[in-house]
């Protein structure tokens, strides 16, 4: 019988083994001026609220996490704009509105915190930090070692004892931590890997971009997959634009 983590995968809703590292801890510091000011994040949250994002838990998490700490120094002045930004190695940090939208979809129908969450594609670590405020435990897996290490550095200022960073192939998920109350992906392929569905708990929800259409006309759309005792239920929502889902590590 395989070893299981000691904490439970709580649900409030009616290959290669990755290397696990716990993100370093440090205190959050909020200054009164500049990009460290809570007013800057408050303005961003207010704009998102006007766009229709209403989950108070998600908006509060975005208020707490300083996005400018997760982007390159040359781009910090754009950190609180609703735009994706390059983070190196051909990857991007998602728009705040997209992070909020996907988190809100994960939290829909859940009272209190999510249980154990798996994030596919750590990137710079921003979404993982947001998720750490919404869930009991977060496993975040990244296939590019350079970004895995960058995320660790970016997260040093937070106390994130419930966030575990993994270096490995995200398409395989992380079976040792399963079952997950929620799974979220920051990269999109033609279909959701079966490993993710297998690792999702009954009653859990998966949110990920997937390709719709075929050939050169194929576009990504947001998929919400709910796993029930009778099977899976899928809903395809609005168009999105994420980096392609790839296997292996680099």
User: pLDDT averaged over the chain?
Assistant: 89
pLDDT for residue 35 is more than 90: no
Pick from 116, 121, 118: which is nearest to 168 by CA? Answer: 121
Q: How confident is the model at residue 13 (pLDDT cuts 50, 70, 90)?
A: very low
User: Could you tell me the two tokens for 201?
Assistant: 């708990």
User: Could you tell me the two tokens for 46?
Assistant: 């207010």
Pick from 178, 184, 176: which is nearest to 17 by CA? Answer: 176
pLDDT digits (tens, 9 = 90+) for 53-64: 999 999 999 999
pLDDT for residue 5 is more than 50: no
pLDDT digits (tens, 9 = 90+) for 213-238: 777 667 999 999 999 999 999 999 99
**Which pLDDT score is estimated for 4?**
44
Using an 8 Å Cβ cutoff, are 165 and 23 in contact?
yes
Q: How far apart are CA 52 and CA 72, in angstroms?
A: 29
- The residues that are catalytic are 94
- Give all domains of the chain, ordered by start, each with its CATH number: 19-244 (3.40.50.150)
**Which pLDDT score is estimated for 91?**
95
Q: Side-chain half-sphere of 8: how many Cα atoms within 13 Å?
A: 4
pLDDT for residue 156 is more than 50: yes
Q: Check residue 90 and give left, alpha or beta (phi > 0: left; psi -120 to 50: alpha).
A: left
**Which pLDDT score is estimated for 31?**
37
Environment class of 182 (CB within 10 Å of its CB; exposed 0-12, middle 13-18, buried 19+) = buried
44 membership: H or E segment, kind and range: helix 38-50
**Which pLDDT score is estimated for 36?**
74
pLDDT digits (tens, 9 = 90+) for 160-178: 999 999 999 999 999 999 9
- Bridge partners (DSSP) of residue 182 are 117, 205
3-state secondary structure of 54: coil
pLDDT digits (tens, 9 = 90+) for 82-114: 999 999 999 999 999 999 999 999 999 999 999
């Amino acid at each position: 019988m395989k070893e299981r983590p000691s904490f439970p995968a709580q649900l409030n809703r009616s290959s290669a083994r990755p290397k696990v590292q716990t993100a370093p801890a440090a205190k959050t510091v909020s200054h009164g001026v500049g990009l460290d000011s809570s007013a800057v994040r408050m303005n961003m949250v207010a704009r998102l609220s006007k766009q229709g994002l209403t989950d108070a838990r998600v908006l509060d998490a975005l208020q707490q996490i300083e996005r400018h700490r997760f982007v390159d120094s040359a781009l910090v002045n754009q950190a609180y704009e609703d735009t994706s930004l390059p983070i190196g190695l051909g990857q991007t940090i998602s728009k705040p509105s997209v992070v909020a939208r996907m988190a809100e979809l994960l939290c829909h129908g859940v009272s209190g915190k999510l249980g154990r969450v798996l994030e596919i594609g750590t990137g710079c670590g921003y979404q993982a930090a947001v998720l750490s405020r919404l869930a009991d435990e977060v496993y975040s897996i990244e296939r590019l070692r350079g970004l895995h290490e960058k995320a660790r550095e970016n997260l040093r200022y937070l106390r994130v004892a419930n966030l575990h960073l993994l270096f490995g192939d995200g398409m395989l998920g992380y079976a040792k931590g399963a079952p997950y109350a929620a799974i979220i992906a920051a990269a999109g392929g033609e279909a959701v890997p079966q490993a993710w569905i297998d690792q999702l708990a009954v009653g859990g929800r998966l949110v990920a971009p997937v390709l719709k259409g075929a050939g050169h006309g194929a576009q990504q759309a947001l998929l919400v997959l709910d796993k029930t005792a009778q099977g899976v239920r899928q809903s395809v929502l609005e168009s999105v634009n994420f980096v392609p889902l790839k296997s292996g590590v680099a």
